[in-house]
Amino acid sequence: MSVKVSIIGASGYGGGELARLLAGHPEVELVHLTAETRAGEAMADLYPNLRSFTDLITTAADPDRIARDSDLVFIALPNSKAMEFAPQIAPHARIVDLGADFRFKDPLVYEQWYKTAHACPLLLDDSAYGLTEFRRSEIRSSRIVGNPGCYPTAALLAILPFLQAGQGSAGGIVIDAKSGISGAGRTPSMGTHFSEVNENVMPYNVGSHRHTPEIEQELSRLGDSPVAVTFTPHLIPMTRGILVTAYVPVHNGLTTDDATAILQESYAAEPFVRVLADGLPQTKATTGSNFCDVAARVDRHSRMLIAMAALDNMVKGASGQAVQNMNVMLGFPEELGLRSPGLYP
């Protein structure tokens, strides 16, 4: 008994990756795929890896029809677009939004960082922040899931167990993140031009990246007190992958073994978080998969906990976690269609 699923925004990388993952999901039937400028093109022409997997032709977005025909709708559009469609869709179909529109509990925070008033703040009450490992029950019962940003997914999975365990100070947390270029999406620009970013590493949006309030919201809600972090993202010359190296000042006798035990306890039952006791996370171990690998070390010399997480920004950092949330929302086994190892090398 399959469910009917549509993707609004299928031509971007988030949408393409959803289509790839759903092609292997035994309970999903894809109904509508929408694209804007490229509407009318075959999905398999937009994503040549999907040749022989789908004959669907992308269409312009018709939210009423999509809502009527679908049990669940993924929205993979630029920020502030989902909140235009959501009011029409939400009464008929559940929604997983891969953008930022439904990630914030406080619409003023959204407005402050995204420079536009929220179009449907009432819907936020029926929305869950989709970090599956920490909000499973809310996700199960919400109309809308605001799928986390790629950086927050990695940062939160690295840090949250420690704050929940009462380790680490709320002040002085540094999150240094490294992302592959696919995180910038499929629209060409100087910032994604091969010759500019290849053989290059650079920080960007220092002190001002929009994922900062998202990380702080969840650290504050799930930890025990308001948290302000220093978050610096960097672009790395590779296609997929995010590595977060987080620095949390510790003022007691926490050891590396303690820290590893905290991670192991937090994630013992989690199907998609792997705790490394010996090795260190590397993005390649997760490429193409829904896994997040985490590890921690304590530098006793400088009294700093170093918490690390690696994941594929396109999968666990976006579309894979979105499918994981869909599974939770619709009562499927959480790993359905998602459990496969990544590519290595």
Q: Is residue 13 close enough to count as binding a copy of itself by CB under 8 A?
A: yes
Render the burial of 55-94: b for 16+ CB within 10 Å, e for the rest.
ebebbebebeebbebbbbbbbbbebbbbbebbeebbeebb
Amino acid identity for residue 260 in this structure: T
Please pick, from the candidates 306, 322, 323, 329, the single residue that binds a copy of itself as defined by CB under 8 A: 306
Residues numbered 325-344 forming contacts with a copy of itself, rule: CB under 8 A: 340-344
Q: Is residue 318 close enough to count as binding a copy of itself by CB under 8 A?
A: no
Q: Could you tell me which stretch among 65-73, 217-225, 229-237, 316-324 binds a copy of itself (CB under 8 A)?
A: 229-237
DSSP of 276-290, one letter per residue? -SSS---GGGGTTSS
SS3 at position 316? helix
Residues numbered 261-300 forming contacts with a copy of itself, rule: CB under 8 A: 271, 274, 279-289, 291, 293, 297-299
Q: Judge whether 292 and 154 are in contact, CB under 8 Å.
A: yes
Residues numbered 145-204 forming contacts with a copy of itself, rule: CB under 8 A: 172-174, 176, 178, 180-182, 186, 188-190, 192-204
Q: Which is nearer to a copy of itself, 92 or 297 (CB)?
A: 297
Q: Which is nearer to a copy of itself, 153 or 289 (CB)?
A: 289
Residues numbered 117-156 forming contacts with a copy of itself, rule: CB under 8 A: none
Catalytic residue among 30, 35, 150, 250: 150
Q: Which residue in the block uniquely carries the two structure tokens 């003023």?
A: 108
The three state secondary structure string of 141-158 is HCCEEECCCHHHHHHHHH
Q: What is the dihedral of CA 87, 10, 72, 333, to 10 degrees?
A: -140
Q: Is residue 2 close enough to count as binding a copy of itself by CB under 8 A?
A: no
By CB under 8 A, how many residues form the interface with a copy of itself? 85
CB 288, min distance to a copy of itself, A: 5
Half-sphere exposure of 176 (CA within 13 A, CB side): 9
- Whether 150 sits among the annotated catalytic residues: the reply is yes
CB 316, min distance to a copy of itself, A: 13
